[in-house]
């Protein structure tokens, strides 16, 4: 009798062992199998969420078929203790294994809203973007001028943990405008002690968080500009009238203001380099304007004759050589152009009416080009 009972118990144990094994194999196959999600979604994990809450929300979103298998698999692999807060893109038919990886791996949100502060040469705008789950790409939702009501418009988005923040600097923007804009973005912390040196920050796009200080963000911008300048300096042409990196930034900032056409930058650079080599005044309006405004505002009109005669250190009609500082923050292409000009004999250029410039080697041809431009300005051509 006891032998029979022991035999039955052993049979039950063996069957249980095989059933558990079979269940485990089935569970693993379900964990890596395609999921039921019909369309991609942005799945949000709020701060402090536990395993149970995450699993229930995934069931509610119809992203997984079994809360039990998801939880057991996460617990057995230790991933349940690595869940990160954020908003994560979950593709169509994502497996439970893929979802687990996305919510535990980096903690960097890749889905949801993004607020971009665009600091331009003449304006400060805010752009709001949202992720299209179907493509995984960001699309612009709205754009407006930064003003006293901006924070109120953004309050709801700012409070969302998944919202990302970015500041984008236009090429040629002045350091004063960057200083003023960053000071007005209330989401940033701390104060900027000084206006950054003109030319020292790289026009680019920078992601930041609520824990970042204004000073840390500026430092990031300056480190990028230093890196760009070092790279361009190492590939500079020989025998240039540019002897220091500071001079390279000054010339680059002038080139930046003179043209927005990338293929023209090295040609514009050649004009100024040729003038420096011949000890000719640079005669650039952009530098004269900076001497008047210091980058705090646009002039909004042409230069007056009295302003062209006003002797400031940036008046390149009255003073030969480079001005004493950059007149804005140049981008990488202009820095490279300053140190790698085209090999030309050009000494002059003027607008040609198409957005570009007409170049000439002598004053006679330049005057002809100027006359053509004045006709276009008057609408005669």
> How big is the chain, counted in residues?
381
Closest C-alpha among 193, 259, 234, 205 to residue 340: 234
| 46-51 average pLDDT score | 80
Q: With cut-offs at 50, 70 and 90, classify the pLDDT of residue 23.
A: very low
Percent of the chain beyond pLDDT 90?
A: 45
| 207-235 average pLDDT score | 93
* CATH no. for 113-222: 3.30.420
What ranges do the domains of the chain cover?
Answer: 28-104, 113-222, 230-344, 347-381
- DSSP calls for 344-361: ----EEEE-SSSSEEEES
Res 21 pLDDT > 60: no
| 252-281 average pLDDT score | 96
Q: With cut-offs at 50, 70 and 90, classify the pLDDT of residue 128.
A: confident
What are the CA-CA distances from residue 96 to residues 35, 76, 103 (Å)?
7, 14, 11
Closest C-alpha among 49, 117, 52, 34 to residue 87: 49
Res 359 pLDDT > 60: yes
Per-residue pLDDT tens digits for 138-152: 778 778 888 777 767
| Highest mean pLDDT, choosing among 5-9, 35-39, 82-86, 242-246 | 242-246
Could you give the CA distance from residue 256 to residue 130 in angstroms, rounded to a whole number?
Answer: 32
Closest C-alpha among 229, 107, 256 to residue 172: 256
Describe the strand order of the beta sheet including 113-119 as a list of residue ranges.
Answer: 137-145, 124-132, 113-119, 164-169, 205-208
Dihedral, CA of residue 108, residue 110, residue 113 and residue 119, to nearest 10:
70
| 47-71 average pLDDT score | 83
- DSSP calls for 118-143: EE-SS-EEEEEEEEETTTTEEEEEEE
**Is 35 in contact with 94 (CB distance < 8 Å)?**
yes
Closest C-alpha among 305, 269, 266, 267 to residue 285: 305
pLDDT, position 19: 47
Q: With cut-offs at 50, 70 and 90, classify the pLDDT of residue 68.
A: confident
- The fold for domain 28-104 equals Dna Ligase; domain 1 (3.30.1490)
Q: How far is CA 128 from the centre of its chain?
A: 14
Per-residue pLDDT tens digits for 197-208: 999 999 999 988
Report the alpha-carbon angle 338-322-248, nearest 5: 30
Give the position of tokens 């493509």: 135
* CATH no. for 347-381: 3.30.160.60
What are the CA-CA distances from residue 29 to residues 72, 89, 94, 200, 227 (Å)?
13, 23, 14, 56, 49
Closest C-alpha among 177, 161, 160 to residue 169: 177
Q: With cut-offs at 50, 70 and 90, classify the pLDDT of residue 353.
A: confident
């Amino acid at each position: 009798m006891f032998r029979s009972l022991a035999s039955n118990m052993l049979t039950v144990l063996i069957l249980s062992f095989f059933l558990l094994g079979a269940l485990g194999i089935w569970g693993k196959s379900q964990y890596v199998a395609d999921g039921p999600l019909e369309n991609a979604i942005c799945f949000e994990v709020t701060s402090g969420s536990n395993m149970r809450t995450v699993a229930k929300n995934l069931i509610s979103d119809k992203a997984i078929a079994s809360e039990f298998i998801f939880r057991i698999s996460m617990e057995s692999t230790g991933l349940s203790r690595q869940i990160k807060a954020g908003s994560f893109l979950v593709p169509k038919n994502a497996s439970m294994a893929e979802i687990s990886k996305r919510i535990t791996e980096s903690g960097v949100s890749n889905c949801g809203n993004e607020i971009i502060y665009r600091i331009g040469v003449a304006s400060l705008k805010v752009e709001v973007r949202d992720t299209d789950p179907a493509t995984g790409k960001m699309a612009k939702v709205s754009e407006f001028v930064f003003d006293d009501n901006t924070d109120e418009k953004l309050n709801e988005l700012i409070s969302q943990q998944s919202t990302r923040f970015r500041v984008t600097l236009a090429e040629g923007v002045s350091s004063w405008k960057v200083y003023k804009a960053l000071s007005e973005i209330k989401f940033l912390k701390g104060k900027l002690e000084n206006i950054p040196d003109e030319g020292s920050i790289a026009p680019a796009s920078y992601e930041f968080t609520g824990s970042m200080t204004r000073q840390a963000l500026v430092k990031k911008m300056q480190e990028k500009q230093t890196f760009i300048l070092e790279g361009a300096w190492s590939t500079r042409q020989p025998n240039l009238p540019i002897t220091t990196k500071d001079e390279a930034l000054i010339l680059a900032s002038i080139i930046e203001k003179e043209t927005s056409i990338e293929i023209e930058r090295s040609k514009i650079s050649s004009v100024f380099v040729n003038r420096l080599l011949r000890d000719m005044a640079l005669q650039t309006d952009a530098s004269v304007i900076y001497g008047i405004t210091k980058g705090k505002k646009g002039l909004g009109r042409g230069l007056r004759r009295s302003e062209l005669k006003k002797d400031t250190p940036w008046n390149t009609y009255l003073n030969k050589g480079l001005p004493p500082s950059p007149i804005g923050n140049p981008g990488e292409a202009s820095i490279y152009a300053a140190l790698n000009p085209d090999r030309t004999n050009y000494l002059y250029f003027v607008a040609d009416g198409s957005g570009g410039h007409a170049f000439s080697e002598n004053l006679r041809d330049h005057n002809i080009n100027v006359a053509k431009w004045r006709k276009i300005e008057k609408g005669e051509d």
